[in-house]
Amino acid sequence: MYSSLERPLPKEDLEELARLKLKEALIESKLALEYLDKGIVRNAAGKAFQAWKALISALIALNFDRLSKGLSEEQKEWLKEKGILAPTSKLIPLSLMLEEKADLDGITHATSTALDLHDYQYNGPDPDLIFSKYTEPESAKESAKLLIKTSLEYVEKYKDLLDEEGKKVLEELKKALNTNA
């Protein structure tokens, strides 16, 4: 399952890109849960963020036609070349676009949580709330679990794009989340 992520992304084949990004979301979610089980919360937060970022990329690929409607040629080109890979600095605008044009409610809120976890990964708990929105690991851990759960709910909607191994991992992760809840 991991080896599929070690090759160039097929930007011209949006469905294949979406497949790979959904698989990446599963892999990152699995690693996040493993880190959480070991008490490695900062790394788990980073993996939950990476899972969400991969999911956003998949959602952009799957909804590219809807998202590109009404855009200038320059904007379409940016979306196809760069936006489709969900750059961290553009996650909020891309999420807003997914909500508005692809009717994916709640994406922006979850993206905000993902970005908060990204900050936590680098800065750790911050009692002053300057560098991180989390003052202690437990709340970051719970946010990571919720973000993983949300990621898996979206992957579930597109599970027909997964191979058998991906579908099996999805079920294992859902079960693990319910066990650890």
Helix (H, G, I), strand (E, B) or coil at 164: helix
The answer to whether residue 157 scores a pLDDT higher than 60 is yes
Q: Where do we find the tokens 């560098």? A: 131
Cα 52 from chain centroid (whole Å): 1
The CATH number corresponding to 2-6+13-180 among 1.10.1660.10, 3.40.50.2300, 1.20.120.330, 1.10.287.110 equals 1.20.120.330
pLDDT band at residue 153 using 50, 70 and 90 as cut-offs: very high
Q: What are the pLDDT digits (tens) for 58-79? A: 999 999 999 999 999 999 999 9
Nearest-CA neighbor of 35 among 22, 23, 50?
Answer: 50
Nearest-CA neighbor of 44 among 138, 159, 168?
Answer: 138
Whole-model pTM: value is: 0.94
Angle, to 10 degrees, between the axis of helix 137-157 and the axis of helix 41-62?
30
How far is 147 from 56, CA to CA, in rounded Å?
12
pLDDT band at residue 1 using 50, 70 and 90 as cut-offs: low
Q: C-alpha dihedral over 140, 144, 147, 148, to 10 degrees?
A: -170
Q: What are the pLDDT digits (tens) for 77-101? A: 999 999 999 999 999 999 999 999 9
DSSP state of 163: -
The answer to whether residue 179 scores a pLDDT higher than 90 is no
Domain positions in the chain:
2-6+13-180
The answer to whether residue 181 scores a pLDDT higher than 60 is no
Contact (Cβ atoms closer than 8 angstroms) between residue 131 and residue 53 = no
**Other C-beta atoms within 10 Å of 172: how many?**
13
Helix (H, G, I), strand (E, B) or coil at 125: coil
